[in-house]
């Protein structure tokens, strides 16, 4: 029997949609089987070290919980995963180019710094370092570009970028351990063929290789890598996996807070950074991305770090390059070409991942977008210049905020983005001390990228792994650290 070509094509196009909604159907509705395998999954997570400290004791490992994760891996269309990986080196290059363009950063952030105190503080440090002269010669970027799969146009999904994280991009360590958990769960369920299809994934190793290269280029065997960490360190195990990779390479690592830098940090005549008698080659920020991370002393500590010769990951310019306002500006026609001239294929690849992004400047264009969003708030997401999850505004809350600030310059501290419409799938989200129940879920895919530049030479530019996070559909915003999403793995379809 012959099938018409168009019918075959239609079947092929529909397959990801069908698989997204039916994957693991035989397991998910077998309550007895679910209750049998869930405790096995939790034990596997504990054995693999998929761990977080508790909220009650964030600075001790005397009592720990498993980090939240899905019982089963979630479906991800192969074409989407391949596309996300294919553009990561392009994004690495773009972020690095933007960070070096002072004129662009100044013009793009000019209105934002007038109304957003946090961005203004970062920008003031950036300007001060430029004025005194940049002493850092090696630059390290550890980025994570986050995407969702948009089905708003029909059955064929489109990969759309949510944001790019240029500071403290987390969960590269824990996600390196979750594949083994899901592989074990599938094997226990008699799905050994499916278990063998799970992708090898080790971002912690790739991130450590980038840090190690920056340490090497700094040029002092005696110098150490400093992880700049939060006061409450619940997510320490995620960081330890990267840290241990460095120790295995005979690179010494210390962990310090802003407070330690303020009290004990100093620069010598060559602007080399010293803390507790140790010279610091690389400062790896796992803190410093939200306003609550700072007080007066912490801002002074950040300035000291930025003035130093140490390799900062990220340096202050790269943190600014990751702001939402810069992301929105890069989506404008002709802007990518400024940074990536004579490479139309790269520009095309990047632009294909952009969701609709809109300025709220105090001009006719901004007025039009404010009015459009107030009239149809369900079409958009309102984003402030913040990282860490849980900051975005949706639906009625978006409308209320915009109505309040529509005539105020405060609106320029936000951008608008088209709301992405993913296709939900079913799964169980496993959290410590939480009941076991099936949830309708959506996922967000992140690709980790690492680059190292020495002077003007990009000596490392690579993608180093992925992160899949999944949350119940009733939660509009928020990541794993925010207590909304859970760790997951892609099951490629």
- Establish whether 385 is an annotated binding residue: yes
Q: Tell me, yes or no, if 307 is annotated catalytic.
A: no
Strand partners, 69: 430, 487
437 known member of a binding site: no
Task: Using the structure block, give the residue that is written with the tokens 């400062």.
Answer: 283
Active site residue 165: yes
Coil/strand/helix, residue 218: helix
Q: 428 is written with which tokens? A: 């169980």
Active site (annotated) includes residue 383: yes
* Cα(316)–Cα(319) distance, integer angstroms: 5
CA distance 493 to 474: 25
- C-alpha closest to that of 215 among 454, 492, 479: 454
Instruction: At 302, list the tokens.
Output: 């950040």
State how beta strands 74-76 and 490-492 pair. Answer: parallel
Which 3 state secondary structure label does DSSP give 263? Answer: helix
The yes-or-no answer on residue 469 being catalytic is yes
Assess whether 387 carries a catalytic annotation.
yes
Residues 160, 213, 256, 324: which is the catalytic one?
324
The C-alpha atoms of residue 242 and residue 238 are separated, in whole angstroms, by 7
The DSSP secondary-structure symbol of 97 reads H
Of residues 99, 111, 141, 163, which has the active-site annotation?
163
Q: List, by residue range, all CATH 3.30.1490.50 domains of the chain.
A: 356-419
Q: Look at residue 478 in the predicted model and tell me its pLDDT.
A: 63
At 14 the pLDDT is: 52
Q: Which of 240, 307, 383, 411 is catalytic?
A: 383
| Dmax (CA) of the chain | 82
Distance CA 76, CA 82 (A): 10
Angle made by CA atoms 311, 217, 176, in degrees to the nearest 5: 70
Is there a binding annotation on residue 163?
A: yes
> Is 282 strand, coil or helix?
strand
CA–CA distance, 257 with 295 (Å, rounded to integer):
13
Please identify which of the residues 243, 469, 479, 489 carries the catalytic annotation.
Answer: 469
Start-to-end CA span in the chain (Å) = 26
- Binding site annotation covers 177? no
Q: Express each pLDDT in 394-414 by its tens digit.
A: 999 999 999 999 999 999 999
| H-assigned helices in 382-447 | 395-405
For 99, 330, 458, the CA distances from 92, given in Å and listed in that order, are: 11, 14, 10
Catalytic residue, chosen from 65, 165, 331, 425, is: 165
Is 454 marked within a binding site?
no
DSSP string, 285-354: ESS-SSGGG--HHHHHHHHHHHHSSSEEET-HHHHHHTSHHHHHHHTSTTHHHHHSTT-HHHHHHHHTTB
Residue 388 falls in the annotated catalytic set: yes
Residue from 210, 163, 172 nearest 465 by CA: 172
Class of domain 356-419 (CATH, top level): alpha beta
Coil, helix or strand at residue 116: coil
74 alpha carbon, distance to own chain's centre: 19
Q: Are the beta carbons of 113 and 412 closer than 8 angstroms?
A: no
Distance, CA of 258 to CA of 361 (rounded, Å): 34
d(CA 323, CA 331): 13
Q: Per the residue annotation, which of 92, 143, 145, 170 is the catalytic one?
A: 170
Does the annotation place 187 within a ligand binding site? no
Residue 30, annotated ligand binder? no
| Residue 49 among known ligand-binding residues | no
What residues of the chain score a pLDDT lower than 50? Answer: 1-13
Residue 328 labelled as part of a binding site: no
**Is 272 annotated as contributing to ligand binding?**
no
Active site residue 144: yes
Question: 388, 421, 431, 462: which one is catalytic?
Answer: 388
């Amino acid at each position: 029997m012959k099938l018409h070509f168009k019918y075959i094509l239609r079947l092929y196009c529909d397959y990801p949609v069908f698989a997204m909604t039916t994957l693991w159907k035989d397991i998910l509705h077998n309550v007895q089987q679910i209750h049998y395998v869930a405790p096995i999954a939790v034990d596997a997570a504990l054995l693999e070290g998929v761990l977080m400290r508790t909220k009650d004791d964030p600075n001790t490992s005397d009592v720990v919980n498993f980090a939240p994760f899905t019982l089963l891996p979630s479906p991800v269309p192969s074409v989407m995963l391949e596309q996300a990986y294919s553009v990561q080196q392009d994004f690495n290059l773009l972020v690095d180019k933007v960070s070096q363009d002072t004129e662009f950063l100044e013009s793009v952030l000019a209105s934002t710094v007038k109304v957003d105190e946090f961005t203004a503080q970062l920008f003031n440090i950036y300007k001060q370092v430029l004025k005194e002269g940049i002493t850092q010669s090696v630059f390290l970027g550890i980025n994570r570009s986050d995407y969702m799969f948009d089905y708003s146009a029909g059955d064929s999904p489109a990969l759309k970028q949510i944001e790019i994280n240029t500071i403290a991009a987390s969960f590269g360590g824990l996600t390196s351990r979750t594949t083994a958990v899901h592989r074990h769960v599938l094997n226990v369920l008699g799905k050994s063929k499916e278990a063998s299809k799970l992708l090898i994934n080790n971002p912690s190793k790739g991130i450590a290789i980038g840090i190690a290269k920056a340490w090497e280029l700094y040029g002092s065997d005696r110098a150490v890598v400093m992880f700049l960490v939060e006061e409450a360190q619940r997510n320490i195990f995620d960081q330890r996996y990267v840290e241990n990779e460095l120790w295995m390479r005979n690179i010494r690592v210390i962990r310090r807070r802003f407070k330690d830098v303020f009290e004990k940090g100093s620069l010598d005549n060559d602007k080399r950074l010293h803390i507790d008698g140790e010279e610091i080659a690389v400062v790896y920020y796992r803190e410093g991305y939200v306003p609550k991370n700072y007080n007066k002393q912490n801002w002074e500590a950040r300035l000291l770090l930025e003035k130093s010769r140490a390799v900062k990951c990220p340096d202050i310019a790269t943190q600014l390059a990751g702001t939402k306002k810069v992301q929105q500006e890069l989506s404008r026609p002709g802007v990518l070409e400024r940074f990536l001239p004579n490479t139309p294929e790269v520009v095309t690849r990047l632009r294909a991942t952009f969701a609709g992004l809109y300025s709220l400047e105090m001009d006719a264009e901004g007025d039009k977008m404010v009015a459009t969003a107030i009239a149809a708030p369900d079409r958009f997401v309102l984003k402030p210049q913040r990282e860490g999850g849980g900051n975005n505004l949706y639906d009625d809350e978006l409308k209320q905020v915009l109505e309040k600030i529509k005539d105020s310059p405060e609106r320029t501290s936000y951008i608008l983005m088209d709301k992405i419409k993913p296709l939900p799938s079913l799964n169980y989200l496993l959290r410590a001390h939480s009941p076991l129940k099936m949830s309708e879920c959506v996922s967000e895919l992140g690709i980790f990228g690492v680059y190292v530049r020495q002077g003007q030479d990009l000596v490392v530019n690579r993608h180093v792994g992925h992160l899949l996070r999944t949350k119940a559909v009733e939660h509009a915003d928020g990541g794993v650290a925010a207590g909304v999403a859970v760790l997951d793995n892609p099951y490629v379809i």
